[in-house]
Structure formats: structure tokens, C-alpha cells
Structure 1
Amino acid sequence: METQLEQIREQQKASWNNFSPGWKKWDELMMDFLKPMGTEIIKQIDPQGEDIVLDIAAGTGEPGLTIAAMIPKGKVIITDLSDNMLAIALENANKKGLSNVEIKACDVCELPFEDNTFDKISCRFGFMFFPDMQLAANEMVRVLKPGGKIATSVWNGPEKNFWITAAGATINRNMQIEPPAQGAPGMFRCATPGIIASIFKQAGLKVVDEKEVTGLLKVETADTYWTMMTEVAAPFVAALKQADEAMKSKIKTEVYELLQQQYPDGKVEIPSSAQVIFGTK
């Protein structure tokens, strides 16, 4: 892997390790928020029987743990760059009494598995952050058995994801932060229609299709939204660390005002939009 891509990978690994306590704290809320996308991924790969399933960039364990519960005679290998996130995944697996789950820290661009190992592969919200998306897709297809299925999800654009932009755009505007360069890892990197489908086809998948899936972030209050986003969103935290107290206060006030305008009754439930892309080897 090129030096630049290795640097991105190491930076991301350090970041996810660093923010794992926040993800553990907010795991129940976030997993409820992301469940519709996981449900659609599971529907498209259709795990059953004695399938061996690979869940990539699984973070705290989903949708891999749900898949494992569906196929007690099968097996799920849950992978992520971050050892700390995987520790939470293992804890969650143990809480659910799942004995058919294996945890493996690895990089999707260098998967430590033989060719044609897995019946199904899931990857919920990983592609946006992979240093080389085509290499990642190629590796997934390499370890997938002929006839096997892959499904992934990515976020649609900012206009459909106020849950990100309420805080993110406010921080960027106040601190004059430039958006990531085109093609660089980021939340909206894969929002262009067809980008992942094209990557999948180039990797050798067939019968590739995509479907929009919506979710609802049920934070209920502006306080919960602000606290959660500043404990799990690494880019937001990094930016706010560069701000003085007056700037932080201004940004927070403006975010609260945005939420008040959008949810005048004070009940903050923010819709989201993602694309689930799937194909067959």
C-alpha cells in the first residue's frame, strides 16, 4: 500500500481507538439509529444455515451480531481497524450469548483470509473512510465465494442528512474549515449516485443494485444531540479543540438555534438518508 494510504489508515485507527469510549457510551442510541441500514444489508445478503459471514468495519459489532443470532449453525467474523472498538463488539457478543462470533482486527485493503472463504459479506458505513475504495472492494470480492453476496451502506448527501450538517456545517462555517478534497475520506465521499455500484462492478460483482434507506436519530433533546456528536464525531472534536471558549460557545448556540428552528416543540428526532448497495460474485 502507498505511504499516503498507510498514513490515512494509521490516522483512522488512532482516531477510532481514541473515540471508542464515546461509541460505547452512545452505543444503544447509535445502533437504534443505524438499524434500518443494517436490516436492509441483512435482507440483501440473506444469511442462512451454515453460512460463513464477514462483517467489515463493524465497530461495536453490528450488523454482524444480529447476523450471528440469525445463523446459530453458521459463523460471523467481525473485523475493524480499531482494537478498542472490537473490544466493545466482543463485550456485546458475550452479553448476547453468541458463541459463533470471531473478532479480528485487520485492514479491509489487506484482508488476512484465503480466496473464496465467505458466503456473505456485510459492511455498514465503512467505504467512506477506506483509504482506497477500489482496493477494498477487490479484496472483498477476492475472499467471497462464487455466487456469494456483498452489501454495504454509505450516506447520501448533506441535504438529506441534517443530523450531520447541523453541527458539522456550523463548525465549518464559523471556523472556515475547507471540506475534504474530492475523493478524500469523509462522511459524504460516496454520496454521488452510482459511485459504489461502479466500484463493485469493476471489482467483478454482477447483478449490482442500490436502494435508499432512511433512519431517524432519536436524540430527543438538543443537549443530547450536542453531547453525543461531540463525543463520537472525531472531525467535530478535532475542530473544536482548535477553537477558543468564545468560539465554542458561539458554535454551540448556533447549533441549538438550528435545532430549535427545525424542532420547535423541543422533540429532536432527525431523519437521515443512506444508500445500500449490493451485488453478487
Structure 2
Amino acid sequence: MSELEEAKAKAAAAYNAAADHFDHPVSSFWHRFGQQTVERLGLREGETVLDVCCGSGGSALPAAEAVGPQGKVVAVDLAERLVALGAAKARAKGLGNIEFGAEDMLALGYPDASFDVAVCVFGIFFVPDMVAATKELWRMLRPGGRLAITTWGPDLFEPANSAFWEAIRAERPDLTKGFNPWERISTPAGLRQMLGEAGIEKAEIVAEAGSHPLNAPEDWWLIAMGSGYRGTLAQLNAATLARVREKNLAAILGCKAIATNVVYGVATK
């Protein structure tokens, strides 16, 4: 299996498993940052939007509302269970201008200049070759079109993240990660460099510091179960999972918030 195929399989497996907790209220940041990404784009009625790594519609649904019935949103994600959640929400909202699909953003096959806007929120870093993925999104944009890439800033989910990996290391050191993929573009300079390598010289990049409240340590566990961490947790047997949970939550007793720093990038073609 190639590096790309392996990365795709891991991402799909993790987020399909996470679908049962992905839309839990404790993880409201998915939709908050999706909405804020869309607001930065100033979408106009009638525009066409491609949303890749769309999850359950955090940015795709507000985009569909913004472009109106004359516009269209194509929303794709490798995780078919998340796509199904998004499609159900679109039906509940009566949005007939959005099309959800379980597809690979690198193999969509749309001609050049097919869309007015391309959006990728918290997803571009899952592709081993981010530059190639960004070039593909840029290719599908019309002249004057806008590309929005939103990524995590530094210290994501700290202090709970470090406590999580310490608990994993104590039980299954073979599953411990050396680094998180988003760290490659977690600063404005890093994101700007990646965009430059993709041939995008001008972009408005904004780093935004933020935090997400925890009412109890258990809130963090629900977030972990509804995110990419689930890919690691799914490889544990029940007894090991229980010990990891206990260690992780004991380490963050009294923690009232976790870091959710974000970097927004918007470029016009």
C-alpha cells in the first residue's frame, strides 16, 4: 500500500469510527470554526463551492445557506459515516443545493475552473503531499475564485493532548506518534510556505488564539472519541482502553479548558 493509500485508509477508518461522537455538543468547535471560515469568504448568492474533508458539514452547511438556492455546494469526505450525518442535516434544513459524497479530494476529476470557492477545514494536513492537494484545489478554481484553508495552530488541545499520549505510551508505546500532521502548517509562516510551494504567492493569513471549555474531564474523552484520536483508541482492547481513559482523565483533573488555536488562510486566484 502506498503512503497516500495508507494515509487515506487511516483517516477514513478514524473518522468513520469517530462518527458516533463527532457531533456531540462538547465538540461544537468543528462547526464554530467551519462557520467562521465561511464568514471570512464573503460568499455571494449563486456561487459554486467545493468543500473537501467536509466532515458532517461544519463549513458546507453554512456555505449552502450563504450561496442560496441558485448556488451549489459539493461536499466530500473519505468518511462515509460523516458524509451521511451531513446529508441528514442538509435534509433537515431543507437545503436542496448541497451534494454530499464519500469521495477522495485528489480524485474528483472536475475540469479546471469548475468552482468559485474551494474550502478545506482541518483536513489538508491528512494528505501526505499537502502541496499537491492544494494545487489540485487551486486548479479547480475559476479566475477570481477563493481558496480557504483552515488549520490548527500550535498546542492543539493542550494540556489534554499531552496527557492523552502519555497514557497511550504507558500502555502501547508502539502507537505513540512522533508528531501531529498539522504541526507542518500550524503557524502563519508554515502555512504561507506551503501555499507558496503550491504556487500561491498571495494569501491573507490570520492566526487566532482560542480555547474550548471543559465542564469535566469526561468532556475531553468525548472529544477524543469524536476526533482523529479515535483511530488510536480503536486499536486498544477494552481493558487497555479503560486504563488509558483513567490515566488520561486523572492527569487533567481540574483542567477547565483546552487550547484551540487556529490559523485561517484565504487566497484569491
The TM-score bracket by the shorter chain reads: 0.7 to 0.9
In the alignment, the residues of structure 1 paired with residue 75 and residue 12 of structure 2 have an alpha-carbon distance, to the nearest angstrom, of 16
- Retained in 2: the 8 A contact 1:33–1:216? no
The aligned counterpart of 2:86 is: 89
Paired AA for residue 72 in structure 2 = K
166-175 or 149-158: which moved more? Answer: 166-175
What per-residue deviation string (whole Å, max 9, x for no partner) do you get for residues 137-167 of structure 1?
0100000111111111111223773343342
Q: Which runs of 5+ in 2 are unaligned?
A: none
The aligned counterpart of 2:128 is: 131
What per-residue deviation string (whole Å, max 9, x for no partner) do you get for residues 161-208 of structure 1?
3343342343235543575456xx735343255222222223232421
Paired AA for residue 250 in structure 2 = E
The aligned counterpart of 1:8 is: 7
The aligned counterpart of 1:149 is: 146
The aligned counterpart of 2:33 is: 37
In the alignment, the residues of structure 1 paired with residue 231 and residue 169 of structure 2 have an alpha-carbon distance, to the nearest angstrom, of 10
The 3 A distance-change label for structure 1 pair 52 and 249 is closer
SS of equivalent residue, structure 1 residue 109: helix
Q: C-alpha displacement at 1:57, in angstroms?
A: 0.3
59-68 or 107-116: which moved more? Answer: 107-116
The answer to whether residue 75 in structure 2 is matched with residue 59 in structure 1 is no
Mapping of residues 167-246 of structure 1, within 5 Å? 167-172=164-169, 175-177=172-174, 180=177, 186-232=181-227, 233-238=229-234, 241=236, 245=239
Question: What number of residue pairs does the alignment pair up?
Answer: 267
Match of 1:252 among 245, 248, 258: 245
SS of equivalent residue, structure 1 residue 37: helix
What per-residue deviation string (whole Å, max 9, x for no partner) do you get for residues 117-152 of structure 1?
111111110012113211100100000111111111
SS of equivalent residue, structure 1 residue 78: strand
The answer to whether residue 64 in structure 2 is matched with residue 76 in structure 1 is no
The answer to whether residue 269 in structure 2 is matched with residue 277 in structure 1 is no
Match of 1:98 among 95, 99, 103: 95
- Retained in 1: the 8 A contact 2:160–2:248? no
Paired AA for residue 132 in structure 1 = D
The 3 A distance-change label for structure 1 pair 194 and 174 is farther
Provide the alpha-carbon RMSD of the alignment: 2.7
- Retained in 2: the 8 A contact 1:53–1:119? yes
In the alignment, the residues of structure 1 paired with residue 178 and residue 242 of structure 2 have an alpha-carbon distance, to the nearest angstrom, of 28
In the alignment, the residues of structure 2 paired with residue 218 and residue 56 of structure 1 have an alpha-carbon distance, to the nearest angstrom, of 28
Paired AA for residue 222 in structure 1 = P
Paired AA for residue 199 in structure 1 = M
Q: Which runs of 5+ in 1 are unaligned?
A: 263-267
Paired AA for residue 9 in structure 1 = K
Runs of 4+ in 1 over 6 A off after TM superposition: none
In the alignment, the residues of structure 2 paired with residue 181 and residue 61 of structure 1 have an alpha-carbon distance, to the nearest angstrom, of 30
User: Structure 1 length normalisation: TM-score?
Assistant: 0.82
The aligned counterpart of 1:265 is: none
The 3 A distance-change label for structure 1 pair 115 and 157 is same
